[in-house]
A and B are shown apart, each in its own frame.
Chain A
């Protein structure tokens, strides 16, 4: 059974940093590209970042470019999102999702349950 479990969310002050993790199981993690998607409270889904199966290609939404870094450790079956210079508008539930086919043209077929990031002083 495919499972994606996010962790690392919590309360952080504006300007602070946080690292999210997504532990994958039930499939060959190293064969799939992955996405991070977020959802602010009461709002819609927003694409954040994507990474290729081997980590060699990364993509970011303009809203997080230069502040967030996506990475992965295929030996640990884990996806990461390093978030820096956090702003109030970054407050959201962050989901990781598996991509089938192309990194950005593919389909997000499995999603984790999300981890909440709260940015507040």
Chain B
């Protein structure tokens, strides 16, 4: 149950697009289309942003999109806004268990 690998930090200027990667193995990210992404602001509970690799829940901005290639999933935030500054975590099903990514801090410059 090793954590999925994410970059520690990603930054961008307002209006730019950024992409956060989430790398696992064929036993988790690569083996199933059950990748989710969560946004967490300091002191707050996580919020679901993307599920099943690329589906967006009702109410989540279409600036957020997800994809997957092989053992790596990605979250792209387009038109970066100040309110997007937060920590982001990916997650995946894995062999009768569940695993989160290491987390990425997004900074809006």
Q: Which of B43-76 contact A (CB under 8 A)?
A: 44-48, 51-52, 57
Total A-B residue contacts, Cβ distance less than 8 Å: 65
Please state if A45 and B103 are interface contacts (CB–CB under 8 Å).
Answer: yes
Complex contact A109–B34 (CB within 8 A): no
Question: Is the Cβ of A46 less than 8 Å from the Cβ of B32?
Answer: no
Interface size class, chain A? 20 to 34
Residue A55, interface by CB 8 Å = no
Instruction: Report whether over half of chain A's contact residues are helix, strand or loop; otherwise say mixed.
Output: strand
Candidates A37, A63, A108; contact of B48 at CB < 8 Å: A108
B1 near A61 (CB under 8 angstroms)?
yes
Q: What's the nearest-Cβ distance from chain B to residue A120, in Å? A: 21
Q: Please encode chain B, from 94 to 109, with 1 for each CB lying within 8 Å of some chain A CB and 0 for all others.
A: 0011111111000000
Q: Contact at A46–B100, with CB atoms within 8 Å?
A: yes
User: A47's contact among B52, B87, B99, B102, by CB below 8 Å, is which?
Assistant: B99
> A104 touching B45 by the CB < 8 A rule?
no
Which residues from chain A contact B46 at a C-beta distance below 8 Å?
A: 37, 45, 95, 97, 108, 111
Complex CA gap A105/B52 in Å reads: 9
Question: Are B100 and A45 closer than 8 Å at their CB atoms?
Answer: yes
| Contacts A45-B100, A50-B98; A105 near B47 (Cβ below 8 A) | no
Contact A59 B96 (CB under 8 A): yes
What is B's interface to A at a CB cutoff of 8 Å? 1, 3, 32, 34, 36, 38, 40, 44-48, 51-52, 57, 87, 89, 91, 93, 96-103
Mark A residues whose CB is within 8 Å of B.
35, 37, 44-47, 50, 59, 61-63, 95, 97, 100, 102, 104-109, 111-114
